[in-house]
Amino acid sequence: MRSTPPALLLDRPTIAELLSLDDCIGAVEVAFAAHARGETLSPGLLHGDGVGGEYHIKAGGLRSPRAYYACKVNSSFFRNRATNGLPNIQGLILLYDATDGRPLAVIESGGITIKRTGAATAVAAKYLARANAKIATIVGAGLQAAIQLESLMRVRRLESVFVWSRDAARADAFAARMSEKLSLPVAAHPDLAAAAGASDLIVTCTPAKRWLLARDMVSPGTFVAAVGADSPDKQEIEPALLASAAVVTDLTGQCAHVGDLHHAIAAGLMTAADVRGELGEIVAGIIPGRSDDREIIVYDATGTALQDVAAAALAYERAIALGRGTEFPFWG
């Protein structure tokens, strides 16, 4: 009987050293295209209620070049930071060998989730934003807002950025911090409509439960990445905006149940058949992306297990190669 080697424990500091944002962008782009070509193991999503929060369980796998399967369990308790100092989102990724079911790693999920979410926006903007897009608005001023901005800068040459938040002090702090970090003019803007209307790219990354970005705020040719709505009760985009735009999803079936698309369908303004396609289909060249420079495109991003497994597998392979992580012999 073959002996089973220990799995690895990989904490957040180790993941930060092993996996850069650029690494995640490359891995996520490959994973999206692989899914469009039928080279993945079907991703799935489950939501569960907590006491004052919720749980997201995402699972799926890649078939090549090595077969991996991952299951991520994240908790979302958005009062944590203010009430007990804990992160609002916490969780673990379990990584498996998809050919024999062997557990390979237990990974802190926060660092991967933050980067892979920004990475997906970078991939979407690469294929869907206008080539000359240079002004961005970030809606939200948290940790995800920062990685979203850094991700956009990987694929477009930004000249200025607005940030809007319901918390004006937080927006001011974000603008000051990111201006210094990125050597880029980042300004807090009190008027979301004015900021959005002046922008070529807009990213919404909030836990909002009522839409923030309206149809009449968005100028022709704008690329919108709707990142925050990843459960049925979250919503950032007015349904009329989705209905009037070209909509691209990460996974259409998932977005129809938990994304901003879900709300447009519930309002009777769209069906899933109205979606142009999934991002992976565009990356793989199966369907076209932007049709012209005046087209408004909304990328509905609910976050997929494909992103998680691609990033986790890369981190695991690097940990093995570099001798990082803590061995976890839970078989005895």
Q: Does 165 reside within a domain?
A: yes
Q: Does 154 reside within a domain?
A: yes
pTM here?
Answer: 0.94
Whether the CB-CB separation of 313 and 72 falls below 8 Å is answered with no
Q: Read off the amino acid at residue 313.
A: A
Can you spell out the DSSP letters for 69-118?
A: EEEEEEEE-TTHHHHTS--SEEEEEEEEETTT--EEEEEESHHHHHHHHH
Q: What is the pLDDT of residue 1?
A: 40
| CATH code of the domain in which 22 resides | 3.30.1780.10
> DSSP state, 5?
P
Whole-number Å distance between alpha carbons of 295 and 288: 13
Whole-number Å distance between alpha carbons of 102 and 83: 39
Question: 276 and 150: one domain?
Answer: yes
**pLDDT by residue (tens digit) across 146-160?**
999 999 999 999 999
Can you spell out the DSSP letters for 142-190?
A: SHHHHHHHHHHHHHS--SEEEEE-SSHHHHHHHHHHHHHHHTS-EEE-S
Question: 229 and 184: one domain?
Answer: yes
Q: What is the pLDDT of residue 332?
A: 60
Question: 103 and 229: one domain?
Answer: no
Taking CA atoms, 13 is separated from 18, 115, 148, in Å, by: 9, 14, 20
Q: Establish whether 115 is a catalytic residue.
A: no
Whole-number Å distance between alpha carbons of 301 and 227: 5
Q: Which of 58, 72, 115, 234 is catalytic?
A: 72
Q: What is the pLDDT of residue 3?
A: 59
Question: 149 and 23: one domain?
Answer: no
**pLDDT by residue (tens digit) across 292-331?**
999 999 999 999 999 999 999 999 999 999 999 999 877 6
Question: Domain tally for the chain?
Answer: 2
**pLDDT by residue (tens digit) across 259-277?**
999 999 999 999 999 999 9
Domain that holds residue 89: 7-113+306-328
Whole-number Å distance between alpha carbons of 71 and 78: 22
Question: 41 and 181: one domain?
Answer: no
Confidence of residue 6 (pLDDT cuts 50, 70, 90): confident
Question: 63 and 157: one domain?
Answer: no
Whether the CB-CB separation of 91 and 50 falls below 8 Å is answered with no
Question: 156 and 281: one domain?
Answer: yes
Q: Does 1 reside within a domain?
A: no
Q: Does 177 reside within a domain?
A: yes
**pLDDT by residue (tens digit) across 195-250?**
999 999 999 999 999 999 999 999 999 999 999 999 999 999 999 999 999 999 99
Question: 30 and 84: one domain?
Answer: yes
Q: What is the pLDDT of residue 177?
A: 98
Confidence of residue 166 (pLDDT cuts 50, 70, 90): very high
Mean pLDDT, the chain, integer: 95
**pLDDT by residue (tens digit) across 124-144?**
999 999 999 999 999 999 999
Q: Read off the amino acid at residue 283.
A: V
Q: What is the pLDDT of residue 138?
A: 98
Q: Which helix (H) or strand (E) holds 325?
A: none
**pLDDT by residue (tens digit) across 76-88?**
898 998 899 898 8
| Sign of the Cα pseudo-torsion (162, 118, 134, 212, in order) | negative
Question: 236 and 311: one domain?
Answer: no
Q: Does 2 reside within a domain?
A: no
Question: 177 and 266: one domain?
Answer: yes
Q: Read off the amino acid at residue 93.
A: I
| CATH code of the domain in which 131 resides | 3.40.50.720
Question: 311 and 229: one domain?
Answer: no
Question: 163 and 175: one domain?
Answer: yes
pLDDT score of 122 more than 50: yes
Q: What are phi and psi of 222, to 5 degrees?
A: -75, 145
